[in-house]
Each structure stands twice: as C-alpha cells, then as structure tokens.
Structure 1
C-alpha cells in the first residue's frame, strides 16, 4: 500500500509524445463517448411508450428498461474508475465505448422485452467503464491551471447531451422508430473509437499494478449500491414508508458502512477513504448528487407538464426546453472560468442559488401559463446546473491525486447517478401525494359531478404522471372538465416538487459557502499533504508536480 508521503516524493510523470501530448485532443476524444452516454440516458424515456406498444410490455417491464441500466451503472462506476487507474484509462475507456455501442445495436435488434432489459443492463456496465475514465484521462493530461477549463467543457458536453435527449428522441421516435434511438449510438461509438485510437495517451497508476485487487470491496460496494438504488427507484411504487423500501435502503446502507470499514483495513482499497479527508472533495460529491437530483427530477416533471398538461408533442416539448440546453452551453465554461478565478466557494453557491430561483419561478406556473412564464426558469436552471457541474467536478477530480483520478471520476459519476435516481423517484412521489390530496376538490371545482370525481380519485397515479383519466364515452363538456381538473391537480403537485427543490438548492448553497475554503486555503499538493490533512496543491507547474505520484502518461511506444 503506498502511503500519502510516498506519493509526494515520486518522480515526475513521463509525458506522451506527438499528438498524444495534446490535452485538448484528449478532451475531444473523450467528448464523443461522454456525449453518447449522456444522450442515451435521456432519449430512452421518450422511447419507452413506443417500446411498450411494439413489444407488448407492461408498465413494470418498461420500468426495468430504465432500472436495469441505472442499477448496473451505479454498481460498477467506482470499479470502472479503479480498473482504469490500474490497467490503463485509455484501454478501459475504449472497452467501455465498444461494449456500449454493441449493446445499443443489440437492443434495437432484440425484438422482445426481456433481451432489451438484459442488454440495457450491459449498457450500464459498459457505461460504468466509460464515464469515470473520461475525467480520469483529463486529470492525467491537463496541467493543474488548465484542468478547471477542461472540466467546464466536459460539463458542457454532458449537460447539452442530456438536455438534447428529449428533442433527438422525439424526432427519432416520431419519424423513424424506437430502435433508431439506440442505433444512433453506433456512428457516435465508432467515431469515439477511431478518434481515441489516434489521439488518446495511455495513463495509469503503475504503483497499483502489483497490488492485490480488492475483490471483497468490489462485491460489498456493488451490493450496497444495488440495494440503495433499487430502494430509491422502487420507493414510489412500493411506498416510501413500506417495509420493502425501508428494508432495501436500510440493508444497502448497512452494506455500504461495512464497505467503508473494510476499505479502511485493506492494504489496497477499491475506494481510498483518505480521499474524504479533503473537505472540498466531500462537499463536491454531495453537491453533485443534489445538482442532478434537481436537474433530472425537474426535467422529468417539466416534460410531463408540457406533454400531458399542455398537450405538446415530444418534439414540441423538447424544443420548448431549448433555453435550458443553450444556457448550459454558456454556463459550463463560464463556471469553470469563475472557479479558476475566484474558487468554487463562489461558483458552487451561485449555481445552486440560480437553481433555487428557477424552482421558485415554477411556483407561478398554472395549467394555462404562456411561454413567457416558462423560459426564464429554464434559463436559470441551465445556468445553475452548468456552473455547479463545472465547480463540483473540479473539486472532486481536481482535488484527488492523479493516481486516483479514475476512482475520483467514478465517485463523481456515482453521486450523479444516485442523485438523479432520487430526484425522479422522490419528486414523482411528492407529486402523486399532492394529487391524491387535491384531485377530488379540483375535479369538483372544474364541474365534474361528485360521484364521478370520487371514482376518478382512484386514478391519482395517472394524474401524477400528467395523464388525465378520461373515458372516451364521456360527454364532451364532462371530458373537458375532467381534463381541466386533472391538470390543476398535477400543477399543484408540480408546485410541491418545485418548492422542495428550491429549498434543497438554498440549503446546498449555504453548505457550499460554509464548507468550502477560499482559494488561498484550497491550494496544496495534488495528493494528501504531509500532515495528513487532505489538502491539495493545485497550482504547480505540471512538469514538477510531484502530486502525480506514480501515475504515468505513455505514448504507444512507451
């Protein structure tokens, strides 16, 4: 086991030659893989209804199309980063790209729901190899002073690909087929493989190659992550206070605590607990989860509102969220520049406050709001998410030793995925609960007879998804009244969800202000300092940065 002090005295890293020495080409190469995974994550929700109709899948089947991917991804992200640190980040990244691409094509060729679910799980596993090593590769090749801007562009690619998903998915499903949503990964994946083969340098932690691999840690982490994420994604279905939900999440937390205890005792840990001595890294991990709780949860209920309350098609709804995508394009590099100039103590709270403002602006929405009320929250949300993603990624990966860059990338991606899962599940549950409390009175106020309103209250789950439970046999005026009452009930639930995200964002901003230090106190070596306090130096010349430890960046000839 290498000690922190050992890494301080390590020799400077070897550098790749030629085009593989250009860090900006590395950024371009990893952007292809990152864009593919980000796009896939948000287009599938648009394709799910058509998958269900074509393959005669049940609602539970369609949930597993999403959950199988999410569970596999969450369970293996830190492992994927560790494999990159140990065996070569370029090698593991390319394996992830190739596997993700092949699994995507296999989904389109499946023809039945069971293989679709199985190949979605494979997508998640290969995505776990790909995602953390994008940041690991950047950390290994960019000098400290330029790493923040690289992360800003990385965050921009991630945000834009996620936000474009509904538009691309809507166009493909509407004009081609649901299979094309997965086939589109083939050309992107091939381009990613070609570019990465030409320009990516190899980098890894040579000191870890002779260490015994932490198999018990892999199993404990996978089991704990699986249980926690399963409890979260099924919480709305099982009930948040049910024995199944509490038992599953509780068991996952116990396993994760056992994992942490194991990691502190093993010589070569899968996830070195010393990383959490750095306060900025720890806060960045928490804020990353909160950031995607708000982003994915908000996108989920906003798309339901636009499509099922306002009546827009998937493409029309996606186009109306373009301000969010455009704002994130600006926000990520802007956030990186502000972080580099003033530190994350400014950028992270500012981004969280912008998200809080977006959430509170959504409290003004009604079932008939004009677009003038819709786009300002989209811009504020895009600006806030992009700025926070840049700052939090920099505080996590930028504050970790280069030797642990892949693991740090896996930690960041795990926090992101768990936060997104919590966001969609918790916010839909809040909307459903509010709908159940207000649906009857909303329907009565809309002119629905009381006996009909009572019968329709049993369909609160449908209304919480923004779908009015309208019977085709209803008279026209009654049908209009049901639609109006259901829309009002859903908007009430949306307000509850928006208020919740606004309060959480304000709390996140306060946490960042109080927990992060200013720039003068955040500089230190890129590994744990000699006093064991976990502070990291970020501003040394790359050629003499001994914080790289035993990490090596190699050309193919080395």
Structure 2
C-alpha cells in the first residue's frame, strides 16, 4: 500500500525513521531497569559500610521500586499531555541527579530517601518508551520493536547484579550510583537530538486517585516488609488492611470518574490487555525477588565476591539478550500464548531447580544450569507480553496503556522485594539465625551457620517460582491478537514504516 496516499499531510518529522529514537530511549530505560536489581549484589557491602541490617537494606530496593510504581499511572498521562520526549527528559535529569545523591549518602536513611527520588525519575521515563513504540510503529511491526524493548528489559534486570559486583569490588558500593551520571548525560543528549516531538492530547489529572493509590501501595508494602520487625502485630495487619482498603477505594473511585480516570478501566475490556497486566505483574515479582536470596547465598555461604557472584548470572543475561530479538520477530507471526506460556513455565521450573541445589557445597556448574534456563525463559516472556498488551491500544490511549502496564510490572517488583525480604527474615528466624544483626553482611559465614542459612535462602526462592505459575495461567488464556491493516494506524505509524530498519 502507498503510505503517502494514506497520510498526504504527514510532516517530515512524522516520516523520520523511528528506530534511532527508540535506541536513544532504551539507553535510559536500560539504566533505570539496571537500578532495580543492581543493589541486590551490593547489599552486604552497604550493610557493612552503613552499619545496618537486612531489613533496612532491603528498603533501599523497596523504596526505589515503590516510588517507581506509584506515579506510573499519571506519568504515562503526562507524556500524552506534554509530549513523551519532554517528560522523558525531565525524568532523566531527576534520575541522574538522584543517582549522584545516592552515591554521596552517608547513612541508610539518606540513601533510602535518595532512592525515592531516583524512583520518581524512573517513573517519569518508563511509560514514554512504550508510548513512542505504540505511536510510531504499526501494530503488525510492534512485535519487532518490542523485541528490542524486551531484550533491554530482560538483559538490564539481569546485568544489574553483574555490573554491581564489578563496581562494588573495584570501586566501592557508591559507584553503582555514580556510574549513572555520565550515562544519564549521554542519554539526555541522544534523546534531545533523536526523539521526535509527537502530538499531544489534553488531559485532566485525577489527584484523589494519585493520593489513594500512593497511600494504598505504601501501607501494603510497609505491612508486608515490616511484618517480622513488628512480630506481625496488630499494627502490621492494620497497615496491610488499610492498604487493601485504600486500593479498593482507588478502584471504586476510578469507576465513578466519568471525565478522565487515572486508571482507565475501559482498557481492561480488552481481554489480552487485562491478562498481559496479570502476567507482567508476576514477572516483575519473580525477576526482582529471585536475586535477593541468591546474592545473599553466594556471598555469605559460598564466600564469593560480589563480582564472582554476579558472574553466575552471565548465562542468564547472554541467553536473554541473544534470543529476545528473535522472539520479537516470532511474536508478529505466532500466537503469543505459546511463547509466553512456555517462558513462564520454564522460569518456574528453573527457580524450583535452583532452590533444590542451593546447598553449602554444591558444585558451581550445578547452579549455572538452572540459571541458564532462566535466561531462555526470560527471552520468551518480555516481548510477547508487551506486544500483546499494546497491540490493540489506540494512539490517544498509548500513554495511559503504557502507564498501566508498567505500573503492573513495578507493583509486582515492589511486592516481590517486600515479600521476599519478609520471607528471608522469617526463614532466618525459623532456623535460629538473627536477621537483625549485621552477621549476614560479612563476606562468609562461619561453617556451622552455612547449612541453615542456605536452607533459608533456598526456601525463599520457592516464592517467586509459585508466583510465576500465575503468569503462566494468564498467558495461557491469551486470545490471538486481531489483525489490523496498516491504514488503520495513525499517520505517524504509517509513515514511519517507510524507512523503518529491519528488527
């Protein structure tokens, strides 16, 4: 079809190749996803340097993820209103400045506060990447574009521990944050030069919805993560109950909002969008929570350095990065339930396998096998779910849809971090080990402690394995995405196809 006839008034900006812009955006996207997992390998070093315990150091991750998750619903809408390029660049500046603050922190409290601002910057950036894909690539080419997005998402969350290990060993834990500063500057210049200014749409902003969702998530996460610290007292259960009530009130408020709700419930009338959000929540939970017990095990039980511990994840990162683009191309031609369903099932099996071999004296190669299988599984998950979620979204709903989707992923991540932190603490206490001391922050535990510590960590790995079965069930129910003709998409998508690079 002659795309020029379908969009005779298309501007030169709209006709530009969309791939350089996408590459520019995913540099920043890669950086913020790395920061979701990079702290895991540095936790023991941070505990030693800042004189804190396991529960507090887990908050360094949870605070970032919580501040990342809550604003995503409104930040996607901000991109629609003021332009994805502008909001992305504002978020990038905030994220980069907060990274410098994190590295300069001298107390655990300061570090947690700085991580909150880092999470806010990440929340402004993330939905814009998916919104640009949705608005510049036609539906039958988004699978290829999402293949790049999936490769970046998969590799970043797995490379984070590796980069963290190298930086902690050779430069100190502060450098896992300092390294973001030069990368942020480069990402800003590239975004300014390569990302187009897309059409904006007027929006109203649901402030009560923001408040209800933020408070609901905070009380829920606080109750889950601090349960053991307060001995699961009435305060803890009250916090969890308040969180659930506030989140319920948030959904009820959205159903009554007839003008422009923060969470457009109409999006969930699309079966695949609804199921994809369930699946990505499970994925966010698993990919974040599996790293915490694994890094504590490798450093405290096996006596490995942060770098060596992170090197165990190389097979996972390599397989994800190599295979994800090929899976992206396959998504455009194959029913997504087969690819994503297989990925979730393989991921769950791999974590169960890993849990069974996490003992004090197991050969390292026996750990590498299930870790490699996780890499294969990851490659089969990111792109199919993202492409399925966004396939039927109209251009004017791109920002809202991307915000909802990324919020679901981050809610899974923050719940995974909080729940696994609570489970680790509970299992350590059950085996007679004190999680409130700094004992677990040392490089290697005494021999008589290694066995119960290994058991506690391996038992914690079963939690994300179980949650992945929810993702498998959701992806198994995907309907085949309906075919859309290229002339049905916006002129931006139609014209950009003319010069799009091969995936």
Q: For this structure pair, what is the TM-score category when the shorter chain's length is used for normalisation?
A: 0.7 to 0.9
Q: Counterparts of 1:461 and 1:334 in 2: how far apart (Å)?
A: 46
Equivalences for residues 137-216 of structure 1 within 5 A: 137-206=132-201, 209=202, 211-216=203-208
Bigger drift between 136-145 and 245-254 goes to 245-254
Over 3 Å counting, the alpha-carbon distance change for 1:38 and 1:63 in structure 2 is: same
Over 3 Å counting, the alpha-carbon distance change for 1:400 and 1:225 in structure 2 is: farther
Q: Counterparts of 1:381 and 1:466 in 2: how far apart (Å)?
A: 27
* SS of structure 1 residue aligned to 2:198: strand
Residues 463 and 489 of structure 1 are in contact (CA less than 8 Å); yes or no, is this contact kept in structure 2? no
Residue 80 (str. 1) matches residue 75 (str. 2): yes
Q: Counterparts of 1:226 and 1:548 in 2: how far apart (Å)?
A: 39
Aligned to 2:236: 245
Equivalences for residues 255-294 of structure 1 within 5 A: 255-266=246-257, 267-294=259-286
Q: 2:342 aligns with which of 341, 350, 358?
A: 350
Note the residue ranges of structure 2 that are not aligned, 5 or more in a row.
1-5, 497-503
Shift of 1:407: 2.0
Residues 330 and 383 of structure 1 are in contact (CA less than 8 Å); yes or no, is this contact kept in structure 2? no
Residue 488 (str. 1) matches residue 488 (str. 2): no
Residue 400 (str. 1) matches residue 393 (str. 2): yes
Q: Counterparts of 1:151 and 1:464 in 2: how far apart (Å)?
A: 43
Deviations 1:442-467 (A, max 9, x none): xxxxxxxxxxxxxxx25366799697
Over 3 Å counting, the alpha-carbon distance change for 1:91 and 1:463 in structure 2 is: closer
Normalised TM-score (structure 2) = 0.88
Q: Counterparts of 2:102 and 2:91 in 1: how far apart (Å)?
A: 16
Q: 1:219 aligns with which of 211, 227, 239?
A: 211
Q: 1:459 aligns with which of 425, 434, 445?
A: 434
Bigger drift between 164-173 and 502-511 goes to 502-511
Q: Counterparts of 2:123 and 2:469 in 1: how far apart (Å)?
A: 31
* SS of structure 2 residue aligned to 1:119: helix
Shift of 1:235: 3.7
Aligned to 1:367: 360
Instruction: Select the structure of larger CA radius of gyration.
Output: 1
Shift of 1:354: 0.8
Q: Counterparts of 1:47 and 1:17 in 2: how far apart (Å)?
A: 47
Aligned to 2:484: 539
Q: Counterparts of 2:104 and 2:426 in 1: how far apart (Å)?
A: 39
Pairs aligned (count): 488
Q: 1:497 aligns with which of 460, 464, 474?
A: 460
Deviations 1:380-435 (A, max 9, x none): 11221232121221222333322122222222222222212232333344455445
Q: Counterparts of 1:467 and 1:55 in 2: how far apart (Å)?
A: 13
Shift of 1:287: 0.9
Residue 414 (str. 1) matches residue 407 (str. 2): yes
Shift of 1:499: 3.9
Residue 301 (str. 1) matches residue 302 (str. 2): no
Residues 12 and 544 of structure 1 are in contact (CA less than 8 Å); yes or no, is this contact kept in structure 2? no
* SS of structure 1 residue aligned to 2:344: helix
Structure with the bigger RCO (C-alpha within 8 Å, sep 6+) is: 2
Q: Counterparts of 1:317 and 1:301 in 2: how far apart (Å)?
A: 12
Aligned to 1:387: 380
Over the residues paired in the alignment, what is the CA RMSD in angstroms?
3.0
